[in-house]
Copies of this chain bind each other. A is one copy, B any other.
Amino acid sequence: MAEKKLILVCNDDGITAPGIRNLIDVAREFGDVVVVAPDKPQSAMGHAITINATIRVNQLNSTDILEYACSGTPVDCIKLAVNKILKRKPDLLISGINHGSNASINVIYSGTMSAAMEGAMEGIPSIGFSLLDHSIDADFSASQHFARIIIRQALADKMPNGVCLNVNIPNTNKDLIKGIKVCRQARANWEEEFDERIDPNGKPYYWLTGVFRNFDDGLDTDIWALENNYVSIVPCQYDITAHSSLQHFKNWEQNV
């Protein structure tokens, strides 16, 4: 009989977030699950790792599967899981379900997606899931349904080397979602506004706020898919070389 699948679960909202609890429920249908996730919210931590401070790991006693709360970033969690906690390389890494969109440029800032990216760097098939709803009491039933479909496919198929998946789910009823679209990352950015306030000592401090601006009217983008009630899948790579620009810079080369 084939060995049971080993599935590593992480996120960036923290190990107690409803999103990861919902993802764990789905993961258990497919094999043995080990959770290594941050012990507190680590949203927007990107690919940060902890190199100038210590890391703590505590095994939780509250559940019947192996769960570890880690003091570090989402990427720290993956490194710890792969190098210290797991006995063998997992068959799949899933991260999320994130509370809020990681579509388009958000992928760059996302701890959830950086965990998936780190998995890909370790040669593990890796997927990040995100629901377009920030609220703590978001309804994850549609997300669970599509996570189940995509996890089944990922375990059956072979993922290309160096690639992980960025899956985003529209914030709507499952019956209104039209299907799954494979997309490219939309060209967009954040227009920041820094909310300036004055502390009790008369000194200024800032809160980062911003508005998302999509500049991309392509019909093949994740933003288009989500606005049209499709689940979006963007394959992402950690080779960030702008291969198409190599020629442009060739005349910058010099021999001295």
- Asked if B242 and A236 sit within 8 Å, CB to CB, the answer is yes
> Which residues of the partner chain B approach A178 to less than 8 Å between Cβ atoms?
255-256
The yes or no answer to A219 lying at the interface (CB within 8 A) is: no
For A58, give the chain B residue with the smallest CB separation: B203
For A45, give the chain B residue with the smallest CB separation: B48
> Which residues of the partner chain B approach A173 to less than 8 Å between Cβ atoms?
none
For A41, give the chain B residue with the smallest CB separation: B52
CB within 8 A of A205: which of B54, B122, B180? B54
The yes or no answer to A114 lying at the interface (CB within 8 A) is: yes
- Asked if B180 and A253 sit within 8 Å, CB to CB, the answer is yes
Q: Interface readout for A133-149 with B: 1 if CB under 8 Å, 0 if not?
A: 00000000000000001
- Asked if A235 and B249 sit within 8 Å, CB to CB, the answer is yes
The yes or no answer to A246 lying at the interface (CB within 8 A) is: yes
The yes or no answer to A243 lying at the interface (CB within 8 A) is: yes
Which of A25-33, A78-86, A91-99 lies on the face that meets chain B?
Answer: A78-86
A114 to B57, CA, bound (A): 28
The yes or no answer to A23 lying at the interface (CB within 8 A) is: no
Using A55-B206, A246-B182, A253-B180 as known contacts, say yes or no to A235 and B241 having CB atoms under 8 A apart: yes
Restricting to A201-256, which residues have a CB under 8 Å from any CB of B?
203-208, 233-243, 245-246, 248-250, 252-256
* Chain A: interface residue total (CB-CB under 8 A): 83
- Asked if A49 and B46 sit within 8 Å, CB to CB, the answer is yes
CB within 8 A of A240: which of B149, B238, B245, B253? B238
Using A108-B117, A235-B241 as known contacts, say yes or no to A182 and B47 having CB atoms under 8 A apart: no
Using A105-B238, A256-B178 as known contacts, say yes or no to A43 and B51 having CB atoms under 8 A apart: yes
3 A-B pairs with least C-beta separation: A46-B47, A179-B255, A46-B46
A interface vs B, CB < 8 Å? 41, 43-52, 54-57, 72-73, 75-76, 79-80, 82-84, 105, 107-109, 114, 117, 121-122, 149-150, 153, 157, 160, 162-163, 165, 177-182, 184-185, 187, 189, 191-194, 196-197, 203-208, 233-243, 245-246, 248-250, 252-256
The 21 sampled A-B contact pairs (Cβ below 8 Å) are: A43-B52, A44-B48, A45-B48, A46-B47, A55-B206, A55-B208, A57-B206, A80-B194, A80-B206, A107-B240, A122-B189, A150-B252, A160-B242, A179-B253, A179-B255, A182-B246, A182-B250, A184-B246, A235-B249, A236-B241, A236-B242
